[in-house]
């Protein structure tokens, strides 16, 4: 079952918990069905790869693993810190996301 999430691909997010607590990164991919997201530079794991046409050498590569969306918050564009997100209609009648504390719209 897919639900509406507070984060989108391309958002800058703040990590609340875990090994990478306090770090920020850009969302590369969102998986609504699993309630997870892949964030640039967060939750790096070592993946063992066989030699292939794309990677002829093979070996161990570092890549991002998925993080649960409850552990990340969108960064407020005006304050620069994590923000709670709401949805409201803008002056054009379009549903937009906004930071609850500052009231600023999130692009």
pLDDT digits (tens, 9 = 90+) for 36-50: 999 999 999 999 999
Contacts of 60 (CB under 8 A, 6+ apart): 46, 47, 48, 49
**Distance between CA 13 and CA 39 in Å, rounded?**
8
pTM of the predicted model over 0.95: no
What topology is assigned to 12-106 in CATH? SH3 type barrels. (2.30.30)
- So where are the chain's domains? 12-106
Q: Quick one: pLDDT at residue 77?
A: 87
For 48-62, write each residue's pLDDT tens digit.
999 999 889 999 999
pLDDT band (50, 70, 90) for residue 107: confident
């Amino acid at each position: 079952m897919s639900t509406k999430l507070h984060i989108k691909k391309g958002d800058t997010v703040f990590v609340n918990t875990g090994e990478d607590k306090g770090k920020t990164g850009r969302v590369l991919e969102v998986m609504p069905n699993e309630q997870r997201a892949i964030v640039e530079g967060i939750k790096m794991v070592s993946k063992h790869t066989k030699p292939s046409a794309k990677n002829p050498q093979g070996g161990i590569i570092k890549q991002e693993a998925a993080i649960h969306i409850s552990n990340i918050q969108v960064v407020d564009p005006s304050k620069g810190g994590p923000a709670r997100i709401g949805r409201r209609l803008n002056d054009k009648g379009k549903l937009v996301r906004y930071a609850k504390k500052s009231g600023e719209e999130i692009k």
